[in-house]
Chain A
Amino acid sequence: MLAVIKKELRSYFTSMTGYIFVASFLFFTGLFFTLNNLLGASPDFNRVLASILFIFLLAVPILTMRLMAEETKQKTDQLLLTSPITLTSIIVGKYLAAVIVFVGTLAFTIIYPLIMSTMGKLAWSEILGGYIGFFLFGSALIAVGLFISTITENQVVAAVATFTTLLILWLIDAIIQGLPTDKTAGIIFAVLLAAGIAAIIYFATRNIYVAGGILGAGIIAIVAGYIVNPEIYTGFIGKVLEWFSLYSRYEDFELGVLSLSPIVYYITFSSAFVFLSIRMLEKKRWS
């Protein structure tokens, strides 16, 4: 795994991507720091972190587009996959390399609160909270980018798809607002969801019985849920899409509060996408 991390780190900085990431990241943090804290004379650095979350929309695709897509395209994945290392260490190694570049860059920005601390007393514990949240949030998005990079062998496609996905995640709270909340819509959505999951299972396993079984079980569960308590379908769409609302979970961190549930949420979210990336690689071998 160390070898993979080392190799990825090197390739970030032998190609342009590493520098572009670091430069754009530092540029935007610096810009917002200057506007907000220096010119705006605000002692609140967490505001800066929160207001530059949008930068991930561009920065994460830069960091992740190449990760697996380029290996597949150049057929170097043949070397990795026929070497005596596990798929897990390949994917986790790549993920960690991207996270390390991100954290390394983030570490540079400590300089801004340090500058501020020369002008007055800072609430360091709050700033630490802000940083932890920012780190967890970025790491979760990197996992999404990594996953998308395992699907395609085209870097540009990976970048655009990642950008689009992150944009949807960014807008998801607004999208939820606009969706119907009545019971019928909730039930239709639940059925579509079950059908969607069954379809994914079918394409992954090519086993019609397993997929059919899951669809059947899903529908039974939906009916059972309706009989027990039809109210669960009120606002059901929103409740499900909520799971993907990464941005809304950032609020505590912005206030500098470390609460367990968003931390667990981000870590779970990251792990899920890293796990899916591993499965995706595994699945490719069986196709």
Chain B
Amino acid sequence: MIQVENLTKRYGQHVAVDNISFTVKPGEILGFLGPNGAGKTTTMNILTGYISATEGRALVNGVDILEEPEEVKKMIGYLPEFPPLYGEMTVMEYLDFVSDIKQVSGQQKKQSMEKIMDLVKIGDVRGRLIKNLSKGYKQRVGLAQAMIGNPQVLILDEPTVGLDPKQIIEIRNLISSLGKEHTIILSSHILPEVSTVCERVIIINKGRIVASDTLENLSKGLGEETKLIIRVAGPEKHVIKVISEVHGVKFVESQGSKEKDTVDIVVESSPDIDIRKPLFYALSRASYPILMMRTMGLTLEDIFLQVITEEKEAR
């Protein structure tokens, strides 16, 4: 459906997007994840034909955006980071104008506008001036705009940024439901955003793709070690020595003392060995009672950070 080949965008000396390649299959919801300034918006702007790449190309349904821009633009609905709204228009006037420039013909126009307003739940503000709407409504009008003309592909740049938690959930659900009929690329700099809606995630940092996989594989691939955090009553040095000698322990690190005469320690082990019992016996033999023990599941946040720091170290 979407094919991106060796895309590079330079602003003078600054490389905003650095040789990116990926594909998106029809019907897929792809998450585009990366910290601020990673190059998400730039990539999306290229895909939608707003700006041109310095090198490389982007194809939608096999059509090159540079060669037949009008064809490709018909297939894409774009919600930019700042929804492109005309404050002086009412919601209806705006959607009517968008329908016109997206060449939705007279008969279908009314119908499709009604359908979309229904879907994104903006029917009740249809007569209001856009500048007077709340942020959440504006975002939904922006989304409605992207859906006009029923494009096969939706490209949504940080669609939930600046919304309150309730609105975020609404927009997320909306995107999930849109995913049934559309191919979607969705960007975000926060993980929960993509982890709830997307099947596959591309993590991008400093203009480069650092990971690209399903969420499942990403957590598996990176979360090889199982982490435990334990609180032990005893002197730090000795406790660490005892723990290190337990079979299966790969890494021990002190977190310092959070309670008098105790020490908090992170213990990493191979995933195939459960070290909790051996750990208990070893420490009890040494008369260092365990006051607390819990597993530290690797959250997606950890994965995200880990991928990005690994990338940094590799350079």
Contacts and interface: CB of A to CB of B under 8 A. Distances in A.
Contact of A84 (B93, B97, B103): B103
Contact of A79 (B51, B69, B84, B93): B84
**What secondary structure prevails in chain A residues at the interface with B?**
helix
Contact of B78 (A82, A86, A286): A82
A78 B51 CA distance: 9
Interface string B63-107: 000000111011010101010111111000100011011110000
Give the size category of B's interface with A: 20 to 34
Interface stretch (A2-10, A182-190, A229-237): A2-10
A11 B50 contact: no
Interface stretch (A42-50, A69-77, A128-136, A146-154): A69-77
Interface string A201-216: 0000000000000000
Nearest to A2: B100
Contacts of B52: 285-286
A78 B49 CA distance: 9
B102 A11 contact: no
Given A78-B50, A285-B50, A3 B100 contact: yes
A83 to B, nearest CB: 4
Contacts of A11: 86, 88
A287 B11 CA distance: 7
Contacts of B103: 84-85
A10, A81, A84, A285: most-surrounded residue (chain B CB, <10 A): A84
Given A11-B86, A15-B88, A84-B74, A79 B49 contact: no
Nearest to B76: A82
A74 B85 CA distance: 8
Nearest to A7: B97
B262 interface: no
A75 B88 contact: no
A240 interface: no
Contacts of B183: none
A152 to B, nearest CB: 18
Nearest to A287: B11
A91 to B, nearest CB: 14
Contacts of A14: 88-89
B188 interface: no
A2 B104 CA distance: 13
A3, A80, A86, A287: most-surrounded residue (chain B CB, <10 A): A3
Interface in A73-105: 74-86
Contact of B97 (A3, A15, A86, A286): A3
A287 B10 CA distance: 9
Given A82-B76, A83-B101, A84-B70, A76 B86 contact: yes
B43 interface: no
Nearest to A11: B88
27 contacts: A3-B97, A3-B101, A6-B100, A10-B93, A11-B88, A15-B88, A74-B84, A74-B85, A75-B80, A76-B84, A78-B78, A78-B84, A82-B50, A82-B73, A82-B78, A82-B80, A83-B98, A83-B101, A83-B102, A84-B74, A84-B102, A84-B103, A85-B101, A285-B50, A285-B51, A286-B51, A286-B52
Interface of B: 11, 45, 48-52, 69-71, 73-74, 76, 78, 80, 82, 84-89, 93, 97-98, 100-103, 145
Interface of A: 2-4, 6-7, 10-11, 14-15, 74-86, 285-287
Given A74-B85, A82-B76, A84-B74, 18 more contacts: A2-B100, A10-B89, A14-B88, A76-B86, A78-B45, A79-B84, A79-B98, A79-B101, A80-B101, A82-B48, A82-B49, A82-B80, A84-B71, A84-B73, A84-B102, A285-B51, A285-B52, A286-B52
